[in-house]
Every structure is written in structure tokens, then in C-alpha cells.
Structure 1
Amino acid sequence: MPAAKLLRELKSLGVELWPQDGQLKFRAPQGLLDSERLAQLRQHKQQILQLLQAGERPEVSADEDNRHEPFPLTDVQNAYLLGRQSSFGYGNVACHGYLELSWPSLDPQHVEQAWNRLIARHDMLRAVIASEGSQRVLADVAHYAVAVHDLRGLEGERQHQQVQQIRQAMEQKLYPTEQWPLFELRLSQGDTADTLHFSMDSLIADWASAQLLFNELEQLLDDPQRELPPLDIRFRDYLQAERSLLESSRYQRDRDYWLARVDALPPAPQLPKPLAGEQITPARFHRHSRHLDSRQWGALKKAASERGLTPSIVVLTAYAGVLQRWSQQPAFSLNLTLLNRLPLHPQVDQLVGDFTSVSLLHVIDPQGLDFTEQARQLGGQLFSDLEHRLFSGIQVMREIGRRRGREAASMPVVFTSAIGLAIEPAAGSLRQVGHGITQTPQVTLDCQVMDDRHGLHIHWDVRQGVFPEGLVDDMLQAFLDELQWLANDPAAWSVALQVPLPAWQQRERLAANATA
């Protein structure tokens, strides 16, 4: 019997087969695999392994005939869409990003021409999202006109007010998803620099996609005649191939892995809440930022490498330690954002789309572990989780909700690492990154870390009205202090992570004790 026919027959009988470390593994109902079928398996082992491995690495192929037909949303896109509804906890907000990029001078006409070329190049810049849960790329759209604000010659305060008005209008938008476009681009001209203001719904592009767009835009601004390399596949093609993985034995293994762990996953960090217990309406997010300079960041990376740790795991462990200092319980689940571009085609990294996935990381009570030991434990757990990423964190949260209720499934404290993933601008680029902010439905605190030649950039995007006044600044400063200690003092790695109370709280406690 040919290997392909044998494989189809066994699957139809309920036999699960999968490759693991070069071996053929299987799970079958008792008594189904008699001696004859076992002999056939042994005979065709290598061919069946090749068939299974090929099925777990689907190739992306262009589907030009159906390019503009509707296709399903990803789990994360669906969550973003549902999160716009006020009926969900910390909802009533879009997943959205805003960023300002400045150059010494920009030609408005060149900016508009370049951006329209990118709209034509990247399908997801022409996408609309239907409320029932599908997305579609429009074959043709109108020419996009970039609004220009000429602020030259205005006195300083007046110019600042004009920029603030632009930000107020753009930085926390809620786009109607069924109407194109799901982005906005404006240009403000100043006396010393010109600034592009970008607003984009994350339904159509993730952080890495935005970085790709900025770099391609700059290439076209530097040389309006430049021809960018043609794209052979589209985001729709990628998703169709990725979706085929859900029928693989690997997906079933990943599903089994997470469903076996669901009951043991603790809730999100239980952080202090304001006394009034009220949310700000409408929802607004505020960015709190810190920076680790290139010298300190280099020292921290070197120390991490000497201990066999990745920089991202070290930063994640420090973040978890700060959360443990303020959380009611030291064990919790942390919501991790993953930039999940599977290498299914050589051009996957050149596509614009929302490739985001999420994973829930179980942070345990460290119980006296020193920092290095805690980082190794977290890193090991994360590595194991990522080996089973086909069953997404969204699916895990749905299962938690089914078993324990919607409130238990809420995971609003997030860690997003783009360390080592920066798409650097070309050498000699005069581009400067300015003000930015993100917002995400059902999220209250998103710690975003990214690095470049200037060091480590730390941004905490926080939903206003959720935490007591001053708490986030205290936590963020403690986070920065821990990272600086790790960068500057080898002793920090061999002791338990200890986050002290902020100075003002220490003073209040001392004063209270003195009058007791």
C-alpha cells in the first residue's frame, strides 16, 4: 500500500500521527493497530515522516484569482474587533497606533506620491473589515490626499497648540472598519523640521509592518523613481497557508498541551485600583516612557549573554518582578504579544498585515530564587510555550472563560518585546522618531520594549482611570532601577529580585510608625 494511501486510511480511522525529533509518533484507539498495520507503518516510516513534515510546513502560493475575495480574520483580529464593543471589560476602544516621524525637510507632493505607491503595493492598506468577521482587499481605491499643516512662522506656543490639535484628532481614533481607509497620514511643516503624523488601525498592520512601511516610504522619498522589489504573495495568501496548519497533527499536539494546563493558569496580576473604581469615559491611553542608554544596554546584554540568557528574557523577568511587588498574588498569568511571522515563504518579512499572536505566560512565585534562576525558569517556560504556539493565547483565554467565566479570562497586563527586531533605517537616514502611543481593547497596561543603536526604549501605554494616581510612575521607575542595577552590578544577578517601596511610600510608612 502506498504511504499516502496508508496515511489517509489511518487518519480516517482516528489514528493521530506526528513527527517528533526525527521519529514517527502515533496515538491510536486500543486494538486498532494490528500487526499488519504496524508492519506497514514500519515499512513506510520514512515516506510517512516526509508527508507529515511537508504538511507542517505549508508553502504560500499566490492566489491572484481570489485576491479580492473575503477571507477570515485571525484570532487576534477577531479579538480586536470584539473589543471595540462597550459590553466587554475595558472595551469600547480600537487597537490603534499613532507615531510621529520627522525629517529636516519634506516635499508634500513627494510624500503624497510615495504613500499612494505604497497603498497600491500593499494590499492591507486597501483592506476593509466586515463586522461579521471577515476582511477584504479593495481592488481600487481613490487617490489618497495627505493633509498639510503649514506651521512655519508661528510663535512657539501657537505652533505647539497646533501640533496638540493634530495629536488630539489622530492619536486615539476609532475607524469605521467597513470604510476605507483604516489609516490617516498628515504632514506638518515647521521652521526646523517637517513631521509625518501616522495613525493606523492595527487590524490591518502590526508594529513590524509599520516599520516596514516607514522604511519603504523613506526609500521612495529619497528617490521618487526607485522601483521596490515586486511582491509575489499577499497577506491573504499567507493566512490561507497558515490556516492549513490548523488541520495538522502539530496543531492537535499544541491544543492538547494548552488544554492540559488551562486549569493551572492563574489570573492576571491583581494590581491596585483607584478608590473611586471608575473608568474614564471615553477611554484614553497615556504613554509613560523611559530609556536605557546604549552603554547601559550594551552592559546588560553582555551580562545576560554570560549567563546564557537572552536580553528579552532578562527584561521580561525584571518586569514580572515589578508586577509581583505590587500584585496581591505573586503568581499570575502575563499576556505576551508575539510578532508571529511563520517562515512559510521567503517574502513573508516583506508583507504588511497583522501577524500578531498572543501567549499566556505562567509567572510563578519565585520563592527565594535569585534573579538569574528566575530568568532561566521563565525562559524555559516561555520556550516550551512557544513550541506550542499554533493553539493561540486567544483560544486559551476562550477556554478559561468557558471553564471559569469571562472575568477569569481577562488578561489586561501585557508585555510586548521587539528587542532585536528593529528594522533600522538606511545608513545616513535623517529620520527622527517622535511622539507615539498605542491603545488596545481589554488591555490596561502594555509594557513595550524595543532596542536600537541608541539603547533600550521602554514605553508603558496605560489606560487612564484604571490605576491609582502615581502608581504607574512608581512601577516604571522601579523597573528602570532594576534594569540599571543589572547593567551596573554583577551582584544583582545572584540575589532575589527585590523591588523597594517608592521613597514617598517609605517616608509615609516611617511617619506612620513614628506616630503609632
Structure 2
Amino acid sequence: MEFKENITDLDIFNKIKKLEQQGVQLYLDGSKLKYRALKKYFDKNILHEVRNQKDIIIQYLDTIKKNTVELSSLQLAYMTGQSEGQILNGVNAHYYIEYEKEDIDIERLQNVINLLISNNDALRLVLLSSGKGLILKNIPKYVVKSYIYENKEDRLNIRREFSHKKYSFETWPMFSFIVGKSIKVKDVLHISFDCSILDAWSASNMIDKLFKLYDGKTIEFSKYTYKSYMEDLERYKKKDVNKRTLNKANEYWKQQVEFIPKVPSLKMKKKIEELNTTTFTRQEHMFSADITVALEKLAKEQKVTLSSIIMTVYMKVLSYFSGGENITINATLFGKLPVNEEVGNLLGEFTNIGLIQYKDENKSFLESIKEIQKQIFKLLEFRIYDGVNIIKKVYDKNHDSTGFPVVVTCMIGEIYKSKQSGFLETYSLSQTPQVIVDHHIRIIDERIKISFDYIEELFEENYIKKIIQKYVEIIENISKA
């Protein structure tokens, strides 16, 4: 168990993990180092090595106590969702994105990535199999991998490897940056990360900071940490005003789940439980600037939000392809709460979830929009309430382990540009355990963009195309009304 010079927290973490695999557990009793060992694995040589490195190990174990963090219910759900016996467990919660740029300076990129890592503790988070998180204090310098990008197949090979990359628990890092260098075309930057450490909003924030730093701009880093946020969150929920909100939310959801419609009955090639492999793929559509402006004008005139209009169209289309049934979908929310005045630019996993119902009931389209908007506002009002508890309430009622695998992630309100500091976004893909379709709504370059990430083993490509065509048809029609 000898340690090299310039030892990092990660080195010690990996050594201790290896000892545990050998049946030896180290722990502190006050300031003394103790161990437990299974007799059949006991090796006196290991004990001798531990004694030689005692001071380093004691210091590290003491640091662990201070840097252990509670995980959110959703982070734990992501972990559980990958475990044996769970349906749709073939993937981790993951996001992948590609950017093109002329002559990427790998050394400069690597330096700014390491600057981001050192100033954002969420990027140093390790998920422990115990269901806790550990923030590593000092870690090895992150090295950006590169390859020679001579033809399209070179790039596709990296995409195949990293667009579905499964990061193991108790490892660091939970992200990857790879650069393809080309003398014929633009270079390509591949970014992959596990959503257990960064939600969609934080990822966008991180990439924005990355490109600004690469461009030589100065940004301010908050001293407030993700660990502090998770600790403050518990105190925040215990405030009287927030306890009242939590009680109201609990009553609201108790009533809602009594008569909640089922998930969309989409046409699938096979049953979910018959899946042997899980591969997500994407189809998308970008609306014109004219249609985007027309929808924004409609929203203003009708005193509804643009998000409500588009999400209503999405649910109307899902209902249409489900034989006109009433349906319920899962909506992801930006769940960062104002527990501290410095939370603004904090990176981490803050996602919350909620359920949205669509009931036709012969309502006009505008009435449907207002009904969906009312539900969205309730989700926002009660965003302090843990959405995982909503799913549990539904399960307790009907004992259906499928959950709500059709999802919408609406990020209207965030400013997105396809090109930042010369980096042009060219491809992206998400995947999540217990999900079969994840619909993303964004405004990029002042145009609405919709994308469907879905399991290709479950759905015919042409079937998803038909869903998108119907979606586009309705959007275009109401934009002309």
C-alpha cells in the first residue's frame, strides 16, 4: 500500500477501496486508526503497509468526515435505477454533446477545465455505494484526451464510446473531455458527463464558463459550495414558512394521485420488460424565427407562457398517439432553491420532478393551455417538495413499477446560442434510467428547438418521425392563427 509522492485524495480513496475489496475496513476511533478484517482475507503484510502510512490515512479519514455530503432523492434514484432487478436499468443518467471549432488549443482547454474543477466542488464529487457523496479536496490534474480526426468514422467511434458512457460509482471523474484534431476540417470537442453530478442547467452554465475562460475572459467564482448548499437545504426546509408549503404540497399531491391518468400508450416494438439492450437515439426539429416570434406574440396576447403552449401541444400529440386517452407525463424542474444569496452560479445536481396531466374533456385548445399552465405553476409553487415522493405515492396506490417513463424537459427562459467563442454545437444526446422518451424544448439562436431522445429498441424511427410531424403541424397551424 505504498503511496507515491504528491499523493492526492483520489490515490488514498482508491487504495482504501482496494483494501475493502480485500476484506479490510479502516476507520477512526477518536484519533486512532482501527481496522476490521475478515480472517480468510487477513494478510499481515497489508497491516504492516497500513501502519507505515498511518498518518496519511488518519488525515484522509478525518477529511472524509468533513467532506461527506448527503445525496438528493433524485441522485439516489439515478443510482437505484441502474441496479439489478429494476426495469429500464441499462443506462445511467448521462448527457453528451459535440462542438466544432478551428484548431482547438488542447493545453489552454485543459487549463480552464482544471480551473473549473478546482473552483466547483460538484465536479470533484464521488458517488459512494453507501448512498452518500464524497467531495475530493485535492485530485490529480485532469488530462484532456485527444485523437487524430482523419475521417467521419474516427469521430463516430468516439461518439459511440462516449455518448452512452456509463460511469461507475466510487470513481472520479464523472465526466470526459476529448478533442479530435483534424488538418482537413474543424476540430471537434466531445463532452460527456453523468447527470448525477450536474443537471441540465448546471451543465449549460459550466459550458458557458468553459468557453468564456477559453476565450480569455475573466469570471468570478463563488466561494459558496455544493456541499454547503446540501447542508443549508435541510435547514431551509425546516423553516416554518417552508414547512407549511411542504404540508400544502403533500395534501395537493395526495389529492392529485387519486385520479391521475396513466402514462401515454405509445406503440412499441416490444414490451419494456423484454428489453435486453438500451440504446438512446435522437430526432429533432428547429422551428423558424418567424414561427417562434408568432408563438411568443400569441402567448403575450392570451396571457399564457410560451412553455405552457408548447408543452400542451406535446401532450396533445402524445394523447393523439395514445388513442385520445387522458395521460400523465413526468416533467423535470430546475430545483435549485434560494437557501443562500450566493446560489446563483452554483454548479450541481438540483433537478426536481413533477407530474403533469392532460385531459381532453372537449376543452378548447386555449382552455387546455390554461389548465396545463395551472399545473406548471403548481409545480413551481411546490418545487421545495421532493418529486420522488410523488412517484412513491402513485406506486403505493397502483403498484405499477413502470413509473412515468415519458418525460419533458423545458428550458425556455434560458438563453442558448449554438455558437459560443467559436465553438459550434453540432450534436447532443441524453439518456436516463426508467425513461423511454425524453423530450427537450429549448430556444437556440432565438428559434424554438424540440428534440426527442428515445430508446431505439422500443420505437420505430418512422413512428417517432410521425409524432414530430404531428407536433410541428399543430405548432405551425397555431402560429398562423
Alignment match of 1:168 (pick from 157, 160, 163): 160
Provide closer, same or farther for how the CA distance between residues 161 and 468 of structure 1 changes in structure 2, counting only shifts above 3 A.
Answer: closer
Name the amino acid aligned to 1:304: A
How much does 1:383 deviate?
Answer: 1.4
The residue aligned with 1:354 is: 349
Q: Is the 8 A contact 1:274 1:469 kept in 2?
A: no
Match in the other structure for 1:261: 256
The two structures have a TM-score, normalised by structure 2, of 0.82
Q: Aligned AA for 2:280?
A: F
Q: Provide the C-alpha distance between the structure 2 equivalents of 1:106 and 1:437, rounded to a whole number of angstroms.
A: 22
Report the CA distance shift for 1:236/1:261 in structure 2 as closer, same or farther (over 3 A).
same
Q: Distance in 2 between matches of 1:277 and 1:399?
A: 22
| Runs of 4+, deviation exceeding 6 Å | none
Counterparts of 1:245 and 1:433, CA distance in 2: 38
Deviation sequence 1:183-205 (CA, Å, 0-9, x none): 11101122332221000000000
Q: Is the 8 A contact 2:277 2:457 kept in 1?
A: no
Q: Aligned to 1:197, which of 190, 200, 203? A: 190
* CA distance, structure 2, for counterparts of residue 469 and residue 342 of structure 1: 39
Q: Give the Å deviation of 1:429.
A: 3.1
- Output the amino acid matched with 1:269: P
1:44-193 equivalences under 5 Å are 68-151=66-149, 154=150, 159-190=151-182, 191-193=184-186
Which piece of structure 1 moves more, 73-82 or 198-207?
73-82
TM-score normalized by the length of structure 1: 0.76
Residue 419 of structure 1: aligned partner: 412
Q: Paired residue for 1:392?
A: 386
**5+ residue gaps, structure 1:** 1-64, 491-516
Partners of 1:414 and 1:447 lie apart in 2 by 6
Q: Quick check: 1:112–1:144 contact (8 Å CA) kept in 2? A: yes
Distance in 2 (CA, whole Å) between partners of 1:326 and 1:421 is: 30
**One-letter code of the match for 1:363?**
Y
**Cross-structure match for 1:461:** 453
Is the CA contact 1:102–1:194 (under 8 Å) kept in the aligned structure 2?
yes
Contact map agreement 1:67 1:236 (CA 8 A) in 2? no
Work out the percentage of aligned pairs sharing the same amino acid. 24
Residue identity in the other structure for 1:204: I
CA offset at residue 454 of structure 1?
A: 4.2
CA shift in 2, pair 1:81/1:278, >3 Å: closer
**How many aligned positions are there?**
414
The structure that has the greater radius of gyration is 1
Look up the equivalent residue of 1:102 and give its one-letter code: E
- Identify the range of structure 1 (439-448 vs 140-149) with the bigger mean alpha-carbon deviation: 140-149
CA offset digits 1:215-273 (Å, max 9, x no partner): 111122111xx553131211111122222344323212221221232222122112122
Q: Is the 8 A contact 2:87 2:273 kept in 1?
A: no
**1:382 Cα deviation after fit:** 2.2
| TM-superposed deviation, 1:180 | 0.5
Distance 1:397 1:278 in 2: 19
Q: 5+ unaligned residues in a row in structure 2: which ranges?
A: 1-62
- 1:368 to partner: Cα distance: 2.2
Query: How big is the alpha-carbon RMSD for the aligned residues of Structure 1 and Structure 2?
Result: 2.1
Contact 1:67-1:137 at 8 Å conserved across structures: no
Q: Judge conservation of contact 1:189–1:195 (CA < 8 Å) in 2.
A: yes
Cα displacement string for residues 356-399 of structure 1 (whole angstroms, at most 9, x for unaligned residues)? 000011222x2222211110111112213332232232111112
CA distance in 2, matches of 1:86, 1:439: 18
Q: CA deviation at 1:164?
A: 0.5
Aligned residues of 2:205 and 2:345 also touching (Cα < 8 A): yes
Cα deviation 1:323-351 (Å, max 9, x = unaligned): 01111462121100101222333332211
